[in-house]
Copies of this chain bind each other. A is one copy, B any other.
Amino acid sequence: MKYDEMDRNGLLELEKTLKEQYEAYKAMGLKLDMSRGKPSNEQLDLSMGMLDTLHSLSDYMASNNIDVRNYGCLDGLPEAKRLMADVMETRPENVIIFCDSSLNIMYDLISKGMTHGVMGSTPWMKLDKVKFLCPVPGYDRHFAITEYFGIEMINIPMLSDGPDMDMIEELVKDEAVKGIWCVPKYSNPTGTVYSDEVVNRFAWLKPAAEDFRIYWDNAYNVHHLDFDRIHDIPEILELCEKAGNPDLVYKFGSFSKISFSGSSIAALATSENNIADVLGQMKFQTIGHNKINQLRHARFFRDKKTVMEHMKKHAKIMKPKFDCVQEVLDRDLSGTGTGNWTRPEGGYFISFDSMEGCAKKIVQLMKEAGVTLTNAGATFPYGKDPEDRNIRLAPSFVTVKEIRQAMEVFTTVVRLVSVEKLLEK
């Protein structure tokens, strides 16, 4: 029964039951963290063999006859570029390899935009106003970067097939709009896969600002949950070329959720013009990134095929966790009208929308019961969810058993907070 169709007495009774349940959960003293997209230990174990690919007796010469132990090779080893290009569905000459994770690359490109503009444009620090478009709900660390640099962020609603393209096509007519954050496949946190039409409209975009770029964070490109139902999206760099927009996109890829999180390799894939522009600036910053780690990755993951086999093992670990979340949500919340949630087929997150004005309270009560979720509001620029509805669920790090516990607390809390909200009226 939909809760908003219940009478006051029914709601009061339900509130009492839910409160008792909640107190019982609280008494269990849980301590679970479902706040971040951290791989589980089991997933990390999958890549341990990579550490054996380079040891004291190894050959440490890269295919271009560079000793990986010494300085040099600003753009990355040829074998690392080949691997990344294969996974990112582009050509090695369109790739630069970076270290650790792709977040650093995005930060760095925004930072360079501020101080030097993009490809010789006016540095953004010299402009009165710089704006970025932010599909919401989205990735908090994207929004944190643009906020840190004082860039004004504009919310773009995320629809079922990607962000609202009508709105985007209208807004990029403003020359102050310099970029948009996108996670095109298994979006953080909704799991949305951009449709072919959306990707095409992005490629054909005609922004007023010549230094506008699409920040295409394809973080979950090969992170399917079920390899019998994998989603592919059109390759955007190629489409941009066809559309006469070759320099429009910075595409990001990372092994952080393939090998070791934060100790992997990451890459920028973009047009040859952009590559030249970025390398021309990078040379002041570094002599080259960790090539030992690049060679280690190239030797362990030879090509996309190897990576896909490896990702199937990740999926085997991840799928039961996502299934468990869905199962408890379906069982406990279906038909109550207390929330809607997504059913991603890849990535790391499930997005939950509560009744208006309930998300903060739900996250707070969860915390008091020992289950840490991502802060309510975090999925919006400035941490402000205008309707206080969105909650990101991140089931990767905990076990299925823990997820079941956590989700049972969650559905109780959602129902309790919803009932209380309805009783306020």
Contact = CB atoms under 8 A, between A and B. Distances in A.
Interface of A: 36, 38-39, 41, 44, 47-49, 51-52, 54-56, 58, 67-72, 99-101, 103-104, 107-108, 111, 114-115, 123, 125-126, 141, 144-145, 148-149, 256, 260-263, 281, 283-293
Contacts of A38: 70-71
A377 to B, nearest CB: 17
B71 A262 contact: yes
A109 to B, nearest CB: 12
B67 A44 contact: yes
B288 A262 contact: yes
A38 B357 CA distance: 60
Contacts of A107: 284-286
Given A99-B99, A262-B290, A263-B293, A52 B56 contact: yes
25 contacts: A36-B71, A38-B71, A39-B70, A44-B70, A48-B56, A51-B58, A70-B261, A70-B262, A71-B256, A71-B261, A100-B290, A101-B287, A107-B285, A107-B286, A114-B114, A115-B125, A125-B126, A141-B284, A148-B281, A262-B286, A262-B288, A262-B290, A263-B290, A290-B293, A293-B293
A261 B283 CA distance: 16
A100 B286 contact: yes
A287 B263 contact: no
Count identical subunits in the complex. Answer: 2
A291 B261 CA distance: 10
A19 B111 CA distance: 52
Contact of A145 (B39, B48, B284, B292): B284
Given A111-B111, A149-B115, A262 B289 contact: yes
Contacts of A292: 51, 260, 263
A291 B51 CA distance: 13
Contacts of A51: 54-56, 58, 292
Contacts of A69: 44, 47, 260-261, 263
Given A115-B125, A263-B293, A103 B286 contact: yes
A284 to B, nearest CB: 4
A346 to B, nearest CB: 19
B55 A67 contact: no
A108 to B, nearest CB: 8
Given A99-B99, A115-B125, 11 more contacts: A51-B58, A51-B292, A71-B261, A72-B262, A99-B100, A104-B285, A107-B285, A114-B114, A115-B149, A123-B125, A144-B283
Contacts of A293: 263, 290, 293
Contacts of A287: 101, 103, 141, 261-262
A366 to B, nearest CB: 21
Contacts of A148: 281, 284
Contacts of A263: 68-69, 290-293
Contacts of A290: 99-100, 262-263, 290, 293
A106 B265 CA distance: 22
A41 B71 CA distance: 11
A369 B65 CA distance: 24
Nearest to A107: B285
A58 B54 CA distance: 14
Q: Shortest 5 CB-CB distances between A and B: which pairs?
A: A48-B56, A125-B125, A263-B290, A148-B284, A44-B69
